[in-house]
Chain A
């Protein structure tokens, strides 16, 4: 990661958190499907990024969201869990012949299928933690599980939409340049 990248990740941090707490927070379907698209920030780190640093960043991101949600610890715990299991998920999803050096976890580098499975598996760890920890009552496991699954679908759809948008934007830009 060079210096330019570091600045990029700081800007992205602010953008993702603000998008989450000022806008996506108020969007949901029937109180069942929620969107926690800010995890896209943590999932966008390079595949070979230092796991130690990544865990610490995950904690900071989670706490920032927690401050706005008034739920200290819940999102932090969920983000740490998700980032800890990222290595496993990446390992399971490795294409035959392994990853190429410099591959980014994006649709552009690894394709739609890879991206969708990667995001939904990671989102499942995160959302399950959030919903099961904040469930006030353990008699409603079914309801909580339903919430988790629907929210995973919602979050994944939103993050996939971001990817496609940036892809078509890049195509548009390169076409104009020519």
Chain B
């Protein structure tokens, strides 16, 4: 009898608070999703690479992309011209040499969705698993790096933009090959899509406004020597013995349409070596 009474009271208690418990339950799911957001294990259908979202973005791009075609063609022609120029010396016998074979494969893709105004920005690309794209691959534009693939579905991929609070890129100065790290919006104060900061620049390093910063090629995501930006200001911070360096990004993130996704043929090899040397870093 007393058990029945307790049961009854309990049921009454829960049914009176059922809205609150539903609220709590759903809110916990949301928080769990937020906390798991930055892992590669994230559910692919909850990203913009989702087939429905991808389709809508593709249709949107088909409309809005029309207005900018002339500009885009010009950019691609410029890139073509640069590549021709760089290619000329390779038209010799040396071209056949094995050492010149590239470790990288470039998959062209189109940006169908992009943002620059948030603290974590993402891109959606119109190529997916069917085109050989995998999580963690690098994304570059003709004139510099753009980001890194986050999730892929069959036909679309969602990528972290360089303009994302969790992205750091291993970089170096072109002239001295000194290592540094590029991070966007490091102070979190202004979401300026044209600027980024260099972290961990010791005070003895010679660095001048106008110097070019490029990828170091140490993390197997980007090849060595791809442009990131040019140094715009250097300030010495005596308190912690570092230089505060700001760089101007070369890619206009507000207007990227054509990108390449980089496949590194030796990525798994490099990653497993890194794992052996330093087990704490995850790939």
Do these two chains interact? yes
A-binding segment of B77-85, B112-120, B201-209: B112-120
- Give the residues from 149 to 203 in chain B that come closer than 8 angstroms, CB to CB, to chain A: 150, 158, 165, 185, 187-191
State whether the Cβ of A6 lies closer than 8 Å to any Cβ in chain B. Answer: no
Q: Determine which of B26, B45, B158 lies in contact with A55 in the assembled complex, contact meaning CB atoms within 8 Å.
A: B26
Interface size class, chain B:
35 or more
Contact with B along A71-109 (1 / 0, CB 8 A): 111101100110010000000000000000000000000
With contacts A67-B50, A72-B47 taken as known, whether A59 is within 8 angstroms of B30 at the C-beta atoms is yes
State whether the Cβ of A18 lies closer than 8 Å to any Cβ in chain B. Answer: yes
Q: Determine which of A56, A63, A135 lies in contact with B22 in the assembled complex, contact meaning CB atoms within 8 Å.
A: A56
Whether the Cβ atoms of A81 and B119 lie closer than 8 Å is no
Q: Determine which of A51, A80, A137 lies in contact with B26 in the assembled complex, contact meaning CB atoms within 8 Å.
A: A80
Whether the Cβ atoms of A67 and B46 lie closer than 8 Å is yes
Whether the Cβ atoms of A137 and B188 lie closer than 8 Å is yes
With contacts A55-B23, A56-B22, A135-B119 taken as known, whether A67 is within 8 angstroms of B48 at the C-beta atoms is yes
Which residue on chain A has the smallest CB distance to residue B46? A72
- Give the residues from 24 to 56 in chain B that come closer than 8 angstroms, CB to CB, to chain A: 26-27, 29-37, 42-43, 45-48, 50, 52-53, 56
State whether the Cβ of B129 lies closer than 8 Å to any Cβ in chain A. Answer: no
State whether the Cβ of B12 lies closer than 8 Å to any Cβ in chain A. Answer: no
State whether the Cβ of A34 lies closer than 8 Å to any Cβ in chain B. Answer: yes
Which residue on chain A has the smallest CB distance to residue B45? A67
Whether the Cβ atoms of B46 and A63 lie closer than 8 Å is yes
Whether the Cβ atoms of A80 and B27 lie closer than 8 Å is yes
Whether the Cβ atoms of B56 and A25 lie closer than 8 Å is no
Residues of chain A lying within 8 A (CB to CB) of residue B57: 22, 68
Residues of chain B lying within 8 A (CB to CB) of residue A62: 30
Q: Determine which of A52, A58, A59, A143 lies in contact with B18 in the assembled complex, contact meaning CB atoms within 8 Å.
A: A52
Q: Determine which of A21, A34, A80 lies in contact with B30 in the assembled complex, contact meaning CB atoms within 8 Å.
A: A80
Residues of chain A lying within 8 A (CB to CB) of residue B185: 136
Chain A contributes a number of interface residues (CB within 8 A of B) equal to 38
Residues of chain A lying within 8 A (CB to CB) of residue B47: 67, 70, 72
State whether the Cβ of B94 lies closer than 8 Å to any Cβ in chain A. Answer: no
How far apart are the CA atoms of A136 and B46 in the complex, in Å? 21
Whether the Cβ atoms of B56 and A22 lie closer than 8 Å is yes
State whether the Cβ of B122 lies closer than 8 Å to any Cβ in chain A. Answer: yes
By secondary structure, the A interface counts as helix
Whether the Cβ atoms of A77 and B27 lie closer than 8 Å is yes
Whether the Cβ atoms of A66 and B46 lie closer than 8 Å is yes
State whether the Cβ of A1 lies closer than 8 Å to any Cβ in chain B. Answer: no
Which residue on chain A has the smallest CB distance to residue B43? A72
Which residue on chain B has the smallest CB distance to residue A70? B122
How far apart are the CA atoms of A52 and B29 in the complex, in Å? 16
Highest count of chain B CB atoms <10 Å: which of A25, A52, A70: A70
How far apart are the CA atoms of A34 and B119 in the complex, in Å? 13
How far apart are the CA atoms of A78 and B21 in the complex, in Å? 16
- Give the residues from 122 to 137 in chain A that come closer than 8 angstroms, CB to CB, to chain B: 133-137
Q: Determine which of B31, B35, B53, B118 lies in contact with A67 in the assembled complex, contact meaning CB atoms within 8 Å.
A: B53
Q: Determine which of A26, A72, A74 lies in contact with B42 in the assembled complex, contact meaning CB atoms within 8 Å.
A: A72
Residues of chain B lying within 8 A (CB to CB) of residue A77: 27, 30-31, 34
Residues of chain A lying within 8 A (CB to CB) of residue B124: 70
How far apart are the CA atoms of A81 and B53 in the complex, in Å? 25
State whether the Cβ of A139 lies closer than 8 Å to any Cβ in chain B. Answer: yes
Which residue on chain B has the smallest CB distance to residue A28? B117
Q: Determine which of B30, B52, B56, B115 lies in contact with A73 in the assembled complex, contact meaning CB atoms within 8 Å.
A: B30
State whether the Cβ of A31 lies closer than 8 Å to any Cβ in chain B. Answer: yes
- Chain A positions within 8 Å of B, measured between CB atoms, are 18, 21-22, 25-26, 28, 31, 34, 51-52, 55-56, 58-59, 62-63, 66-74, 76-77, 80-81, 84, 133-137, 139-140, 143
17 extra A-B contacts, CB within 8 A, seeds A70-B48, A80-B26: A22-B56, A22-B57, A55-B19, A56-B26, A66-B46, A67-B46, A68-B53, A68-B113, A72-B36, A73-B29, A73-B30, A76-B26, A77-B30, A77-B31, A136-B165, A136-B188, A137-B188
